[in-house]
Amino acid sequence: MRPNKIIEKWNAGQAAVNIFLSTPGSFTAEVMASLGWDGVTIDMQHGVNDYSDLLPMLQGITRYDPAPMVRVPWNDPAIIMKSLDAGAYGIICPMINTAAECESFVGACRYAPRGYRSTGPIRAVFYAGTDYHEHADKTILTFAMIETQEAVDNLNGICSVPGLDAVYIGPSDLSVSIGGSPGGDQRAPDVMNRIEQTLEACHRHGIKAGIHAMSSDYANDMLEKGFDLVTLSSDFRHMLASANAMLASTKLTRG
């Protein structure tokens, strides 16, 4: 089975760098995948992507070697299994608040007897190889999103779920859940306390920890803290920032 680049980085003792794709289009996905990321994640939760966009985007990504992943819109076995059958090598699942919710999520990603995923990897075998079924459970990554106070309160149970590979912190929702303001790169002490608590719980239970970042400064700070994966924003945010910067630096005479 084709290897998972994020797992390779972790096995080498290194952190992984990921990006979200918020906008549909196979060419954008192909271009972003060519840049050297360890993971490229198609965002079906807050991005403007649907399943009809997912398949050609995965095809664009898989010309290159980053792990193709999907953030699903919700903890729904149907879309989780369809994303995996399309060739996703990792699933990031939002709003996991309890161990029971985590068990349902992980079970949808694993074949029996470890889980209840239905057999039918229609495209995955073309991308991954004919031995897909034999190795899928060890190659596909499961990320449970921790983004509420309830989830923080239930960290030990969530992190103990068999088959969970990692958690993924959503700092904006985590801030909102405790009465703070939305926005990325959260540094408020009460939010950072929960972020560090989550990181510690993950490593104590032997799983990895990922976090969303809007800037390289924040990503570097999180890597210094010991995070195993950071996401450097999204294609949409990079496009917006670059276009704004170029426009602002271009000297134009306006009539």
pLDDT at site 243:
92
> Per the CATH hierarchy, to which homologous superfamily does domain 5-249 belong?
Phosphoenolpyruvate-binding domains (3.20.20.60)
Residue with tokens 């239970």: 205
Is residue 245 helix, strand or coil?
Answer: helix
Is residue 129 helix, strand or coil?
Answer: coil
The answer to whether the CB of 91 falls within 8 A of the CB of 102 is no
pLDDT at site 67:
98
The answer to whether the CB of 39 falls within 8 A of the CB of 229 is yes
Beta bridge partners, 17, equal 230
Is residue 165 helix, strand or coil?
Answer: coil
The answer to whether the CB of 24 falls within 8 A of the CB of 227 is no
pLDDT at site 253:
57
**Closest by CA position to 94, among listed 177, 178, 1:** 177
Spell out the domain ranges in the chain. 5-249
**Closest by CA position to 198, among listed 177, 231, 164, 170:** 170
- CA dist., res. 164 & res. 146, Å (int): 13
pTM confidence score: 0.96
Report, as residue numbers or ranges, the catalytic residues: 46
The answer to whether the CB of 24 falls within 8 A of the CB of 17 is no
The answer to whether the CB of 101 falls within 8 A of the CB of 77 is no
Start-to-end CA span in the chain (Å) = 61
pLDDT at site 241:
92
- What is the full per-residue pLDDT of the chain (255 aa) written as tens digits? 999 999 999 999 999 999 999 999 999 999 999 999 999 999 999 999 999 999 999 999 999 999 999 999 999 999 999 999 999 999 999 999 999 999 999 999 999 999 999 999 999 999 999 999 999 999 999 999 999 999 999 999 999 999 999 999 999 999 999 999 999 999 999 999 999 999 999 999 999 999 999 999 999 999 999 999 999 999 999 999 999 999 888 976 555
pLDDT at site 183:
96
pLDDT at site 129:
97
Q: What DSSP element (H or E) covers 152?
A: helix 149-153
